[in-house]
Amino acid sequence: MTRALELFPIGVACMAIALLSACGGGGSGNPSSSVTTYQVSATAGTGGTISPASATVNAGSTTTLALTANNGYAVSSVTGCGGTLSGNAYTTGTINASCTVTASFVAQYAVTASAGAGGTISPASATVNAGGTTTLTVTPNSGYIVGNVTGCGGTLSGNTFATGTINASCNVTASFIAQYAVTASAGAGGTISPARATVNAGATTTFTVTPNSGFAVSSITGCGGSLAGTLYTTGTINAACTVTVSFAAAFTWVSGSSTADANGVYGTQGVAAASDVPGARHGPVTWTDAAGNLWLFGGYGLFAPPFTDVPMFNDVWKYSPAIGQWTWVGGPNTANGPGSSAPWAPPRPRTLRGQLAPQHSPGRMRAVTYGCSGDTGTTPRVIAAG
């Protein structure tokens, strides 16, 4: 009995030691703690993948997911879990709750460009997201201009071609047009304008030809053109060329017959008439008065069979530019008329030698010289006759 009681304290002490060891008490070690975790899941739209599809992340930590776009696609956007995208890696923010990362992808198309002779277009190729646009630069060479740019539903503004909305691969084509210089030169007596023109290959251009007063176009050549009125139109231009125009003094057919050796028409003496005109003759005396009228006296006609005499005239005519008509002023209306002291008035004695008188009339004249009396130069005075 006494023995059993002695063992009891020893057994209790051993149990106490065993319990303290099992609970971590009574020693210097730390008690064990539990860690909270959260689920990060990932989804991807058409055109690519995101991995891993799910990750378990300790509270307060981050994780990284990899994005892979299919061929012909690119990453469009990645959202969720407070993360950021760098290249193809998406790193979440600090995870303190379960969350989802969503990735979307966009199709991409190739826009290619080609240029004909005479210039360039750049870039030669561009990759464009579906629904987007791009621009290309068109540059003509020296001596060329942009002719046409087509493709991809675009428009040209200056040297920049902007495509339309891209939803399929397409090609932009640029063509160029050569340009040539057409120069013009004019001789004395007029002008041609412009002095220079730049013309597209295969086109034509026009020049205005303007003679000075008293001149007319004598000839105009160059660039395969033709003159109509004052406009010279070149032929088709496919090389640089020059238009050259020359001028000559111009005469105007004012009055008289258009045929040689025409007879005169004598109407009423002293009265201007559209039908009146002096006959054809050589060597008449002519002068102009202060009013600009042209006066004509005498002269001789053609030899006629039997060629024994020369028909000579002693008539006087006046032409008025203001009305464009001749007036038979005086003298006989036939050749070889005799001299008279009064051909235009009743006969009078020849008593006025050395004095001006309306009744005086010289006889027929082969050749004469004359002078003018007074300052106005309106009165003819015969000095010598043959």
Q: Are residues 314 and 368 both part of a single domain?
A: yes
For the residues 250-262, what does the mean pLDDT come to? 81
Confidence band for 281, pLDDT divided at 50, 70 and 90: confident
State how many domains the chain has. Answer: 4
Flag whether 154 is in a domain: yes
The predicted structure's pLDDT at residue 372: 46
Is residue 69 domain-shared with residue 138, that is, in the same domain? no
**Do 146 and 138 meet the contact criterion of CB atoms below 8 Å apart?**
yes
Q: Are residues 99 and 132 in the same domain?
A: no
Q: What pLDDT does residue 82 have?
A: 97
Q: Residue 144: inside a domain, yes or no?
A: yes
Q: Is residue 135 part of a domain?
A: yes
Residue-level pLDDT at 263: 84
Q: What's the average model confidence in pLDDT over 197-208?
A: 98
In this predicted model, what pLDDT tens digit does every residue of 109-119 receive, in sequence order?
A: 999 999 999 99
| Whole-number Å distance between alpha carbons of 329 and 296 | 10
Whether residue 299 is contained in a domain is answered as yes
Name the residue among 277, 289, 252, 249 with its Cα closest to residue 333.
Answer: 277
20 or 216: whose pLDDT is higher? 216
Q: For residue range 218-243, list pLDDT tens digits in order.
A: 999 999 999 999 999 999 999 999 99
Confidence label for 135 from pLDDT (cuts 50, 70 and 90): very high
pLDDT of residue 254: 80
pTM score of the predicted model: 0.58
**Domain final position from 130, 154, 178:** 178
> Cα-Cα-Cα-Cα dihedral of 135, 141, 147, 152, to 10°?
-20
298 within domain boundaries: yes
Closest CA to 356 of 377, 379, 376, 339: 379
3 domain-assigned: no
Q: Where among 147, 178, 209 does a domain terminate? A: 178
Domain assignment of residue 261, yes or no: no
- For 44, the domain range is 39-107
Are both 144 and 222 inside the same structural domain? no
